[in-house]
Amino acid sequence: MAGSSEKAPDSGRGVVLLDNWPGYDLDLFTYPQHYYGDLECVFIPHGIIVDRIERLAKDIMKDIGCHDILVLCVLKGGYKFCADLVEHLKNISRNSDRFVSMKVDFIRLKSYKNDRSMGELQIIGDEDLSTLTGKNVLIVEDVVGTGRTMKALLSSIEKYKPNMVKIASLLVKRTARSDSFRPDYAGFEIPDVFVVGYALDYNEYFRDLNILQNVQSLLRSACNPLTMLYSA
């Protein structure tokens, strides 16, 4: 059964960033000059991201490494997390006594317009889900918020009868709108802010930023702390 209710200890929530987390001073890092004046802090340094993804890979291989795995990357926001995670999974497999075959497939979902949820899920490439029949599927997602998007995807996948489905998400948002759905593997739990960077976007902008940043703050040009994931 993919996902679970929030009954796990804090370790199951990933690295928890509190609502008042101020981030790191920009002067401690380097970043592109054309973003000078747009950024206010570094929310999560790249080294921490890399270490956390490596640990997720170890946890995944410990749990399901006895099976061949079909990785289903949710585009577009999940591609960078997926690439890094798969690389760690492959490295672990190469150095183990049992080789685990891993194939990567892709699916595109759309549930946001600008920074707001559209209230429904659009699945692009739904006909390709038939390849999941009988497979051990690892869904790799960028962000789990309310959980409704992932539940809708799981509902679509289940009719193709995969052998097993697990979910890994780089970020999980704390939000009052959550239905308590949680991925099986979570990188970081963050406050309920709309973030971009590290392949996450705002209407296709900011994907090139190796950071996570609060879009609302950026658009208002306010002095509220920006939340960002910086990848030097």
- Write the pLDDT tens digit of every residue in 157-199: 999 999 999 999 999 999 887 777 899 999 999 988 777 777 7
**pLDDT above 90: residue 213:** no
CA–CA separation, 182 and 207 (whole Å)? 25
**pLDDT above 60: residue 6:** no
Give the pair of three-digit tokens for residue 136.
Answer: 């051990």
Q: List, in sequence order, every residue forming a beta bridge with 4; answer none if it has no partner.
A: 182
Calculate Rg over the CA atoms of the chain. 17
- pLDDT of amino acid 11: 57
β-pairing, 213-214 vs 102-113, is: unpaired
Q: How many CB atoms lie within 10 A of CB 99?
A: 10
How many CA atoms lie less than 13 Å away from 33 in the CB half-sphere?
0
Find the range with the poorest average confidence among 55-64, 69-78, 197-206: 197-206
β-pairing, 213-214 vs 195-196, is: antiparallel
Q: What are the extents of the domains in the chain?
A: 46-193
Most confident option among 44-48, 52-56, 66-70:
52-56
Burial of 68 (0-12, 13-18, 19+ CB in 10 A): middle
Mean pLDDT of the chain: 79
Fold of 46-193: Rossmann fold (3.40.50)
Helix (H, G, I), strand (E, B) or coil at 107: strand
- pLDDT of amino acid 117: 52
User: Residues 131, 88, 74, 46: what is their CA dihedral angle, to the nearest 10 degrees?
Assistant: -170
How sure is the predictor about 225, in pLDDT bands with cuts at 50, 70 and 90? Answer: very low
CA–CA separation, 141 and 138 (whole Å)? 10
- pLDDT of amino acid 207: 72
Helix (H, G, I), strand (E, B) or coil at 158: helix
**pLDDT above 90: residue 140:** yes
How sure is the predictor about 105, in pLDDT bands with cuts at 50, 70 and 90? Answer: very high
* Average confidence (pLDDT) over 5-17: 66
The DSSP call for residue 221 is: T
- pLDDT of amino acid 115: 47
pTM for the model stands at 0.83
